[in-house]
Amino acid sequence: MKACVFTLGCKMNEVESASLMRGLEERGWEVTDTPCPADLYLLNTCAVTAEAERKSRQAVSRLKKYNPAAPVIVCGCASEHAAAAFAEREGVTLVSGTMRKDKLLDLLGILHETETAFCELPAPKRNKTRAFLRVQDGCNRFCSYCLIPYLRGRSRSRSAEKVLEEARACGAKEIVLTGIDLSSYRDGEIDLGDLLLLLKDLPARVRIGSLEAGIVTEDFLEKAKDARNFAPHFHLSLQSGSTKVLKAMNRKYTREEYLEACERIYRRFPDAAITTDIIAGFPTETEEDFGESLSAIGEAGFARVHAFPFSMREGTAAAKLPDLSAEVKKERTARLITEGRRAEKAYLSRFCGREAVVLFEADGGYTENYIRAYADGAHEGELWRVRLGAAKKDGAIAELLEELS
């Protein structure tokens, strides 16, 4: 792992950077002070003049050009004086200012020492209805509001062989592939789409957890389609409908790219459920930006929306931005929930009177496309062909037609 420590400004900065470089070397990093392709950039900034601050901000883009995927951590005077101007820049992972540079070193140490191999655990105790299978851990995306990459380390995937082994052994009727960033699953040449193909002959349907919009390519969807036991439910985190806010969140797609991903899904899977998460009141979100999140709900045709207010996490890049008031966040969350319920109802109504296959759990069950169904007379673990009817609670009443298992 290579770190590039780039310094602007005075002798004091140079001395502190030299100390940080030494600390990094002691923690096992290969270190350079010359901009080059690296796994991590530490930018020590200067605020002695407005021009020095401008050059400090420009240095972020300069470093990112060498490796757009690598985190950029900004410290020093300019980041203390104008933290928001750095936190808003795409690719900035952390803005630490001038204080506690010793803590910064500890944090960088954690980044390096983090596990690179997938941690195998014993298979959990589970019932035979629905089994959650860990296939990936960690995350390299560094969304500006999220602490997870610091807490769980870099992305690593479980071997496809082990996944297949546990999937066969668990004997569940539905398997849910889970991970922190499932979209980055990779075992050698095997990506998430290939993993679905490897699981396609299991006597179970296979569902996947949360995905990033970038994975929704024609290639991935073709593989998902070929995997005949794949349940067409895509939890595709949106987070914001505004391209400007998405950029500040360090998300790697625009509003348009996200909506195009939804269209690609519907072309292959016309009945697919697309569910999502949306954050209300990210620090840079204006009322106009928020309106774009609201309108995206209808445009994407979501089957379910999980809306929640922005929550400041100390240590993230977004924590340096001015927080919106609790009232604004609460009010926007409520509007997202209302719009989400409207979309959910519209989605459900399309299936009223239609047949579906439901795997029942203790209280109701789910269709392949994640519609919750309630029926008298069905028991946990039973698979039924049903006819969906009127709305009930968070789903629909199901008339039992034929037991399939």
Q: Which of residues 324-383 bind ligand SF4 (CB under 6 A)?
A: none
Q: Which stretch binds ligand SF4 (CB under 6 A): 63-71, 145-153, 224-232, 310-318?
A: 145-153
Is residue 139 at the binding interface for ligand SF4, with CB under 6 A as the rule? yes
Contact 59, 6 (CB under 8 A): yes
Between 55 and 152, CB nearer to ligand SF4: 152
3-state secondary structure 350-370: CCCCCEEEEEECCCCEEECCC
Sheet holding 2-7, edge to edge: 30-32, 2-7, 40-45, 72-76, 92-97
Cα-Cα-Cα-Cα dihedral of 282, 283, 288, 294, to 10°? 10
Q: How many CA atoms lie within 13 A of 311 on its CB side?
A: 7
Return the residue matching tokens 């931005």: 321
Encoded tokens for 138? 């960690």
Is residue 142 at the binding interface for ligand SF4, with CB under 6 A as the rule? yes
Is residue 43 at the binding interface for ligand SF4, with CB under 6 A as the rule? no
Contact 368, 374 (CB under 8 A): no
> One symbol per residue from 67 to 86: x for binding ligand SF4 (CB under 6 A), - otherwise; what is it?
--------------------
Closest alpha carbon to 158 in 193, 132, 188: 188
Q: Which of residues 149-168 bind ligand SF4 (CB under 6 A)?
A: 149
Least separation in angstroms between residue 251's CB and ligand SF4 is 7
Least separation in angstroms between residue 139's CB and ligand SF4 is 3
Is residue 181 at the binding interface for ligand SF4, with CB under 6 A as the rule? yes
CA-angle at 327, arms to 326 and 329, nearest 5°: 65
Between 114 and 127, CB nearer to ligand SF4: 114
Is residue 148 at the binding interface for ligand SF4, with CB under 6 A as the rule? yes
Least separation in angstroms between residue 277's CB and ligand SF4 is 9
Is residue 146 at the binding interface for ligand SF4, with CB under 6 A as the rule? yes
Between 71 and 395, CB nearer to ligand SF4: 71
Between 44 and 333, CB nearer to ligand SF4: 333
Is residue 143 at the binding interface for ligand SF4, with CB under 6 A as the rule? yes
Read off φ and ψ for residue 348, nearest 5 degrees: -60, -40
Cα–Cα separations (whole angstroms), residue 15 to 19, 22, 229:
6, 11, 60
Which residue in the set 180, 195, 204, 357 belongs to the binding site for ligand SF4 (CB under 6 A)? 180
Separation between Cα atoms, residue 123 and residue 132, nearest integer Å: 10
Between 191 and 382, CB nearer to ligand SF4: 191
Separation between Cα atoms, residue 73 and residue 96, nearest integer Å: 8
Contact 80, 120 (CB under 8 A): no
Residues listed for the chain? 405
Separation between Cα atoms, residue 96 and residue 71, nearest integer Å: 13
Least separation in angstroms between residue 400's CB and ligand SF4 is 39
Return the residue matching tokens 């010793």: 102
Least separation in angstroms between residue 384's CB and ligand SF4 is 35
Least separation in angstroms between residue 366's CB and ligand SF4 is 24
Is residue 233 at the binding interface for ligand SF4, with CB under 6 A as the rule? no
Least separation in angstroms between residue 389's CB and ligand SF4 is 37
- Binding-site size for ligand SF4 (CB under 6 A) equals 9
Between 141 and 223, CB nearer to ligand SF4: 141
Q: Which positions lie near ligand SF4, rule CB under 6 A?
A: 139, 141-143, 146, 148-149, 180-181
